[in-house]
Chain A
């Protein structure tokens, strides 16, 4: 399993480096506008208040009555949390399909499994790589925010909570990874519908979350969706809600557990 992880990690290194640089630069860019936002806090609050509540709900997953874009937690959630999660989620989906479906299609899976490696070791090694890769990128994001806070001291908040909030992004990402690995293992690689389902599960869930937020009678749907459980602003402003973490950890464990069980029953090859 360690060899599989080493190989997967080595293969992911380039993605990890470029993703870290890309997201780091994005955070740097967004943080650079924070001082001007803070300077015009009153005007911006006035502007935001003129927005229809439905539209606000569509783009903000936290408590709308607390919404204040100049608040460092809400600023990070709006400009980093949501977009960062969407970008990293897409990478996680690609990694999971590369690990199984694409490896089966291009024949590299045969070479790997002709070695003394069990299918379950392969799954765990690759999933561990996804987790480590994502943790490294999230850590780079946290360090970037901390450095930015030194450059622009107007961004004044608890940096320990910022770090925890950003690293906690691993929970929703592992839910996405678990679901995608399950699909990759479950759906024969000759079938082409697993990819669209995974993307629909993730991006569709984001869109539905925003849409049902605008309709009061559909608010009950939100707790069924992943995005209800990860809120950077909430962690920074109110501390960690351990229930959210436990729910996401349980969902990821169920998906990975099913994938682990199924992978040993899979017919390999296209």
Chain B
């Protein structure tokens, strides 16, 4: 049960230091019931440290955190009964088959969920009767998702969940997350993959160098997000039909190569129609780096 305000995760001035290195600093975060909250940041920003602190693997140097209104240090066992967790670097106790593993988990959680595990395994195209030993990263990841989801936890904490999953399975994962949201359960998901976060999250917290820079709705993030569009034409263009399109900036023409920055709100139809004036040999869409997103975000905020 969340606290009275419908808040499932709440951190207050949460700080963790590794010696002199401050991994997370004064983190104030709220995740509400029923939402998919994306925790976005580049590698080393403090995402995993935050998650490890929430799960009580490491203790706050200062500040505090609560989950379901309970203290993450004092009530960690009771909290973990209601949580499903997928770490970024998954290491399964791999001398068992998937079925044996789930049976053991049922014993630990004192709860039956084999049927749900089998349903998830079918969706993820995973054979639970196979030994977990020697499985590829992607297959282990699927098992990790089954372990995290099978007992239908009220809160899912997923650290880089789609790493190692092929695009088809990423789609299945997105579907599973939507199911979780529809059931009123909560997801806290860390990622450095902006399109993924845009695709499934309701709100996004942006963390950089251990500090929470912003918490935004995905719609607000989409407004500042952009893509780099590369066209390779059959021959250098005689004129430039792209510069007049609203939202297209940083246009660069190098022979038959055209590169432009297209904002999230740009009418892509206008861009494609402008490109139809030329013989297009290739199109390449490049996602911006998180650093570029941060710069854009802060550029707009300051303006």
Contacts and interface: CB of A to CB of B under 8 A. Distances in A.
Partners in one complex: yes
Interface size class of A (residues with CB under 8 A): 20 to 34
A111 B83 contact: no
B105 A115 contact: yes
Contact of A116 (B89, B109, B147): B109
A153 to B, nearest CB: 44
Given A6-B107, A115-B108, A117-B108, A110 B57 contact: yes
A269 interface: yes
Nearest to A269: B57
Which of A4, A107, A115, A267 has the largest number of chain B CB atoms within 10 A? A115
Interface of B: 52, 55-59, 76-78, 80-81, 83, 85, 87, 89-93, 95, 104-105, 107-109, 147
Contacts of B58: 267-269
Contacts of B59: 265, 267
B52 A7 contact: no
Given A6-B107, A267-B58, A269-B57, A116 B91 contact: no
A113 B105 CA distance: 12
Nearest to B84: A114
Given A111-B92, A113-B55, A268-B57, A3 B107 contact: yes
Contact of A111 (B76, B78, B93): B93
A116 B95 contact: no
Contacts of A36: none
B85 A108 contact: no
Nearest to B144: A111
A107 B92 CA distance: 8
Contact of B52 (A3, A115, A265, A269): A269
Given A114-B83, A116-B78, A107 B91 contact: yes
B57 A108 contact: no
Given A3-B104, A267-B59, A269-B58, A115 B90 contact: no
Contacts of A7: 93, 104
A106 interface: yes
Contacts of A113: 55-57, 80
B93 A112 contact: yes
B40 to A, nearest CB: 22
Contacts of B93: 7, 11, 108, 111-112
Contacts of A45: none
A40 interface: no
A107 B58 CA distance: 14
Contacts of A267: 58-59
Contacts of B76: 118
Contacts of A117: 77, 80, 108
A268 B107 CA distance: 24
A118 B83 contact: no
B57 A107 contact: no
Nearest to A104: B57
Contacts of A112: 93
Nearest 8 A/B pairs, CB to CB? A107-B91, A114-B85, A116-B81, A268-B57, A3-B108, A3-B107, A116-B80, A108-B91
Which of B57, B89, B147 has the largest number of chain A CB atoms within 10 A? B57
A111 B85 CA distance: 8
Given A6-B104, A115-B105, A267-B59, A110 B81 contact: no
A108 B176 CA distance: 25
B111 to A, nearest CB: 10
Contacts of B52: 268-269
B57 A115 contact: no
A118 B107 contact: no
Nearest to A267: B58
Given A110-B57, A116-B77, 4 more contacts: A11-B95, A111-B147, A116-B78, A268-B58
Interface in A96-146: 106-108, 110-118
Contacts of B85: 114
Given A113-B55, A114-B83, A269-B52, A106 B104 contact: no
A11 B59 CA distance: 30
Contact of A108 (B78, B80, B92): B92
Interface in A225-268: 265, 267-268
A110 B148 CA distance: 13
A243 B173 CA distance: 62
B80 A114 contact: yes
B87 A115 contact: no
A114 B109 CA distance: 11
Contact of B91 (A4, A6, A106, A265): A106
A107 B55 CA distance: 14
B89 A107 contact: yes
Nearest to A117: B108
